[in-house]
Homo-oligomer: A and B are copies of this chain.
Amino acid sequence: MSLLVVGSVAFDAIETPFVKTDKIIGGAATYIMLSASCFVDKIHLISVVGGDFPKETLKLFQEKGIDLSGLEIQEENKSFFWSGKYHQDLNSRDTLVTELNVLSDFNPIVPDKYQDCEFLMLGNLTPDVQRSVITQLRERPKLVVMDTMNFWMDTAWDSLMETLKLVDVLTINDEEARQLSGEFSLYKAALKIQKMGPRFVVIKKGEHGALIFHKDEYFFCPAYLSIDVIDPTGAGDTFAGGFVGYLYQLSKQRYIAFEDMKAALVFGSVMASFCVEHLGPLGLYDVKKSDIEQRFAIFRKMVTI
C-alpha cells in the first residue's frame, strides 16, 4: 500500500529578479515527493538520475520515507538539467538550457514491490512514459493524478490523448487548459477536458490560485499571500504533491468525496506557499504539521465572509 510518484529527479539552475543559482536539486518528482511526504509515510519513486546526482540527497529522500527501489542510477550518464530565467513578474519564465541526459531514453520499470500502489502521481514527463507506468500496474490504482504541459500538446498530441483516457485527475495551468480544450472560458475548458478522460480537472494559476472542476461543480482556492516570493520553481509540483498526499492519507480513513478534493486543493496551496518562499525545494525540507495547520487556518480566514 503506497503512493507511487513518477517524475524527474534532476538539477536546475534558476535566475529570478532576486536570486541566481548554480546547479541545485530540482525535478518534478523531487518537489512532489517532498511535499507529499508531509502527509504520507510511505512513498515509492520511479525515476532516473545520473552518476552526478548527490548520494546524500538520495539518503535524505529515504529519511523522508521514500523508497528508491524504482530509481534507476545511470552511473555513466548525467542527470536531467534545466535552467530558466524568470521575468520581472515571476509569472512567466524563459528556458535557457534543457539537457535531457538520462531522460532522453527513460524507460520506467515498475518494481514488483510497487505493484500494491493505491495512488499514482504522474509528474510531467512524455505521455508515453506516463502511460507505460499505468499499464505496467496489474491492478489499477484507486486514484491516478497526472500533470502535463503545453510541450506535449505541441509534440505528442495522440499519445497525450491516449494517456488522458486512463487518469482520474489532470493538473494543468490555465494557459494549457485553454490550449488543450480550445476554449477561452476556464469553465468550458474544464468541461471539455473531462470528456477527454479525467473526472477531475485542476487548473493551476500560480500566484492567482487554483480551481478544481468535477462535472459542473467547481471550487476555487487562492494562493497564499507570501510576504516575499523568492523562487516559484516547483510550486506547481509541490501543489500536486500536497494535493495527492493529503488525499492519500485521508483515503486510509474514509471514502473520498469532492468536498475532500476541495480541502486537498487548499493543502496543495499551503505546501506551494512554503515552496516559493525559499530557493528550489529548500522550503520543503522541514515543514511541521503545525505549520501546515496554521497556514490552512489562514487560507480559510482569507476567504470567509
Contact = CB atoms under 8 A, between A and B. Distances in A.
Interface of A: 17, 90, 184-188, 205, 208-209, 211, 218-222, 225-229, 259, 262-263, 266, 300, 302-305
26 contacts: A17-B184, A90-B184, A184-B229, A185-B226, A185-B227, A185-B228, A187-B226, A187-B227, A188-B227, A188-B228, A208-B209, A219-B302, A219-B303, A219-B305, A220-B222, A220-B225, A221-B303, A222-B222, A222-B303, A259-B305, A262-B305, A263-B305, A300-B305, A303-B303, A303-B304, A304-B304
Q: Across the A-B interface, give the 8 residue pairs with the lowest CB-CB distance, nearest first.
A: A208-B208, A303-B303, A220-B222, A262-B305, A220-B302, A187-B225, A263-B305, A187-B227
Nearest to A218: B225
A226 B218 CA distance: 12
- Say how many copies of this protein the assembly contains: 2
Contact of A302 (B17, B184, B205, B218): B218
Nearest to A265: B305
User: Of residues A186, A209, A219, A303, which shows the largest number of chain B Cβ atoms within 10 Å of its Cβ?
Assistant: A303
B220 A303 contact: yes
Contacts of A229: 184-185
A209 B222 contact: yes
A225 B305 contact: no
Nearest to A300: B305
A17 B185 CA distance: 13
A228 to B, nearest CB: 6
Contacts of A302: 218-220
Contacts of A188: 227-228
A241 B185 CA distance: 25
Contacts of A187: 225-227
Nearest to A90: B184
Contacts of A222: 209, 220, 222, 303
A139 to B, nearest CB: 32
A263 B222 CA distance: 17
Contacts of A226: 185, 187
A13 B62 CA distance: 62
Contacts of A185: 226-229
A218 B226 CA distance: 12
Contacts of A186: 225
